[in-house]
């Protein structure tokens, strides 16, 4: 089945395509048309924002759409940046800007209090209103300085608890996807899409 991928972030699009391919899901991902404007992420939750993006692409293309939203919750910052993770340091923030602000806010915070978690909500929406929603999360800690050159976003400052002390940016793509929030969310989504293939759409 053909799905349009709602994200305009090329790093995220590459990662999602790789995860779905590794899940052995036979889907044809169509890039988001350049003519479709950015969707205002005005939702109060990750699921709200993912649904806004997916529904906008369904409306624009007439095709089923896949979208996600991801948030980093840092316990010492009261759960921030959360739904504002991509724009933590401002609307035009770079990955480095966001990481730098997170580290700045954690200056002087003891290592045992630098706990955090990544959560991804992935969603597939169809023109008939049906949808499949999946979640994935991973616990970890925020490092005292960026480490590694792979990945994107907050990967250089997030070391998953289930790992060996390396940040996501120090792992290979396969190592990261095996335990990451996005890997877990999209493998769960893939299972839901696979189960709905015969009907031609997903279950609510």
pLDDT digits (tens, 9 = 90+) for 167-180: 999 999 999 999 99
Nearest alpha-carbon partner for 180 in 52, 68, 78: 68
User: Catalytic: which of 11, 22, 68, 69?
Assistant: 69
- Which listed CATH number (3.30.70.2190, 3.40.50.150, 3.40.640.10, 3.90.950.10) goes with 2-199? 3.90.950.10
pLDDT > 90? residue 23: no
Q: How far apart are CA 62 and CA 100, in angstroms?
A: 40
Secondary structure letter of residue 110 according to DSSP: -
Q: Is 57 helix (H, G, I), strand (E, B) or coil?
A: helix
22 a catalytic residue: no
Secondary structure letter of residue 38 according to DSSP: P
Residue 125: C-alpha distances to residues 49, 158, 170 (Å)? 13, 30, 34
pLDDT > 90? residue 26: no
pLDDT digits (tens, 9 = 90+) for 74-128: 999 999 999 999 999 999 999 999 999 999 999 999 999 999 999 999 999 999 9
pLDDT > 80? residue 148: yes
Q: How far apart are CA 140 and CA 108, in angstroms?
A: 18
Secondary structure letter of residue 151 according to DSSP: S
Domain segments of the chain: what residues?
Answer: 2-199
């Amino acid at each position: 089945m053909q799905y349009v991928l709602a994200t305009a972030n090329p790093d995220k699009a590459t990662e999602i395509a790789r995860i779905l391919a590794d899940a052995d899901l036979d889907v044809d991902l169509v890039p988001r048309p350049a003519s479709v404007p950015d969707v205002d992420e005005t939702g109060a939750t990750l699921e709200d924002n993912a649904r806004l993006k997916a529904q906008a692409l369904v409306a624009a293309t007439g095709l089923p759409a896949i979208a996600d939203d991801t948030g980093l919750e840092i316990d010492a910052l009261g759960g921030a940046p959360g739904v504002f993770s991509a724009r933590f340091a401002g609307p035009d923030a770079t990955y480095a800007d966001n990481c730098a602000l997170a580290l700045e806010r954690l200056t002087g915070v003891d290592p045992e209090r630098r706990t955090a978690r990544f959560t991804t909500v992935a969603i597939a929406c169809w023109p008939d209103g049906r949808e499949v929603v999946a979640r994935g999360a991973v616990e970890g800690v925020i490092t005292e300085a960026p480490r590694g050159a792979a990945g994107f976003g907050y990967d250089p400052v997030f070391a998953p608890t289930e790992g060996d002390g390396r940040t996501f940016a120090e792992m290979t793509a396969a190592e990261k996807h095996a335990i990451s929030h996005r890997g877990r969310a999209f493998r769960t989504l893939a299972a839901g899409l696979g189960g709905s293939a015969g009907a031609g759409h997903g279950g609510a």
